[in-house]
Amino acid sequence: MRIFAIDDEPDVLETLHEAIRAAVPEADISDFLRGQAALDEVTEQGVVPDVVFSDIRMPDMNGLQLAVALKKAAPDTRIVFVTAYSMYALEAWKRHVQGYLVKPVTEDDIRDTLIHLQLTPAPAPRDKLCVQCFGHFEVFWHNEPVIFTRKQSKELLAFLIDREGAACTSEQIAAALWENEIDMQAAGIRIRKLISDLRATLMKIGMEDVLIRERRQLAVRKSMISCDYYQMLEGDIAAVNAYRGEYMPEYSWAEMTAGRLFFHRGG
């Protein structure tokens, strides 16, 4: 097993290394004081770790930013965050405790984490719309795919979810869905038809309130949506490990968010 240990404090890094060595004596362990150095080892030297234990708060490239970059370069690598925050703070952040270790890390911490590293994103609550943004965009209700009568109705929902609940004008929607659209009057008619179609689709599953339409603007209620992208931004370790470097590749307007994911500076 190849393991990367990353922390910007040498003493803490040494403690982490010793805990890993005690838990997995046969492991090939590489230590790094900077996230960028670990990333370079993967992208430039082709050394792909099975597991990465990384501090969260580090200069230049923090833990979440490193995790996103690593998952793009090495999708099968497992990420475990190491933090100085208390378990109480982790609960306050609504993080999954599994996949996070609190300093100082012990041999037992490492051993237990490696045993439970088969992480999958938590299932969506049954009263929430389940949305997949990593890979191709998909929507599920009670584990069944939601069927859209129009492709662009589905794309409209994808765009609204990408905006993370921010209100969108007709001009913004038209610019995303029809890059070369000039006639806003015609675009406005098409948008109204798509909204009507999308609302009808959501009404069939009793989720029409996901859409918010006020003052000629449209948005989604994030509280009614369980989304891998949102979970990643919140630091959900399972969502981080589910990311494979693709974010709604079928939509050209999603390229901007895909790029931001790579340079994300969360947590």
Q: How deeply is 37 buried, as exposed, middle or buried, from its count of CB atoms within 10 A (0-12, 13-18, 19+)?
A: middle
Q: How far apart are CA 259 and CA 249, in angstroms?
A: 12
Domains delineated in the chain = 2-118 (3.40.50.2300), 120-267 (1.10.10.10)
What is the CA angle 143-129-66, rounded to 5?
95
> pLDDT band at residue 125, thresholds of 50, 70 and 90?
low
Query: Which pLDDT band, with edges at 50, 70 and 90, does 187 fall under?
Result: confident
Which one has a higher pLDDT value, 118 or 30?
30
Would the pLDDT of 21 be above 80? Answer: yes
Residue 205 has pLDDT above 90, yes or no: yes
